[in-house]
Amino acid sequence: MHDKIPLSESRINIDLNTSFSSIDTGMVEKFEKSLEEYYGHQKSILALNSGTSAIHLALILCGVEEGDEVLCQSLTYVATINPIIYQKGSPVFIDSEKDTWNMCPIQLELAIQDRILKGKKPKAIILVHLYGMPAKIDEIVCIARKYNIMLIEDAAEALGAEYKGKKCGSFGDFAILSFNNNKIVTTLGGGALICNTKAEKEKAFFYATQAKEKESHYEHKEIGYNYRMNAAGALIGLSQLKKLKEYLQKRRAINDFYKDYFKEFSGVCFLKETSLNVTSNHWLSCFYFDNRVVDADKYELMEFFKKNRIEVRFLWKPMHLQPVFNDFPYYGDKIAESLFLNGLCLPSGSNLIKNDLKRISESIKKFL
């Protein structure tokens, strides 16, 4: 029997002889400095225990409170949305556009105008770079500034992606990264909040470490959280960051392989860069079937892959279609829904070898 081919995996090699104090924060601070160096020392970055924690802190720093509305794209992972609920806010879901599959700027502005007419000007926008593909950043940043709305950039899936030569995570009032187990760089669970100023980072640190006041005793005037990254995760992250360039090259080569292989199959449409301004990290290589051209069932294909021990995944189910979010407004058509109904993510891990890609391609050929 063949070994299972995972969807997205990174091989971790660490020096188990490395020792450090369980209460020393030096390793975490070193990881933060490495991230700040990666962003050209233009940002202040706080290492946390998850990307979800980072979004939550960003919302707090944006002043999102009970009853406030936050605009966010519908086609995303639920972790983008849950922190809005933590703050007792209300998500307002926006459809995707066809080029990048990310938030549609046209629907975004229509939503803002309609919410303002209803007396509910949104407090923040959460922009996602889905599967590592940069969104239409210029348009969305322009809209956020036009209406004076804070912009949070969810770059959880987009470390290493760039827009006009500038790294994703550089464009918002705040941005976040994820170092979850399946990301290009992992800390075996972790994330980061990207701030524009040191003061913002210090305020985020205050909330991430239980909101302890600067007193000799334990004094608390606000609710805080246990969101800090641990030293072991930071140690892994330092090792992983050194290999980011290598990992990016491998993910992009895998994506090139898939696009080239699928050329012979009509009706198979890949998520790809549509402009020279955009450089995806291709965290996951994704496609959808154009059902006007090809009669294929993604559920049958997924089951076929499963029997061949190849892990594939459905595209995210849009948040406005999730039962838990039924009562929140949605602006758009059915682009996100159509992508979900017809799309799949293929194995894209940095550890894939030629034999893995051969197995995957042969399986696809048998099915189609």
Q: Which residues are catalytic?
A: 183
Tell me what percent of the chain is helix, strand and coil, each rounded to the nearest 5.
40, 20, 45
Angstrom CA distances, 234 to 41, 99, 197, 228, stand at 19, 36, 22, 11
Q: String of b and e for 176-214 (b: at least 16 CB within 10 Å)?
A: bbbbbebbbbbbebbbbbbbeeeebbebbbbbbeeeeee
What whole-number distance in Å separates Cα of residue 7 and Cα of residue 21?
35
Q: What is the DSSP letter of 7?
A: S
What whole-number distance in Å separates Cα of residue 148 and Cα of residue 178?
27
What whole-number distance in Å separates Cα of residue 336 and Cα of residue 318?
6
Q: What is the DSSP letter of 98?
A: T
Its sign, for the CA torsion 243, 245, 246, 250, is positive
Give bridge partners of residue 166 from the DSSP assignment: 163
Sequence-distant (≥ 6) Cβ neighbours of residue 156 within 8 angstroms:
51, 77, 79, 80, 128, 176, 177, 178, 180, 183, 191
Q: What is the DSSP letter of 226?
A: B
Beta strands in 108-213 (DSSP E): 124-128, 150-154, 162-163, 166-167, 174-178, 191-195
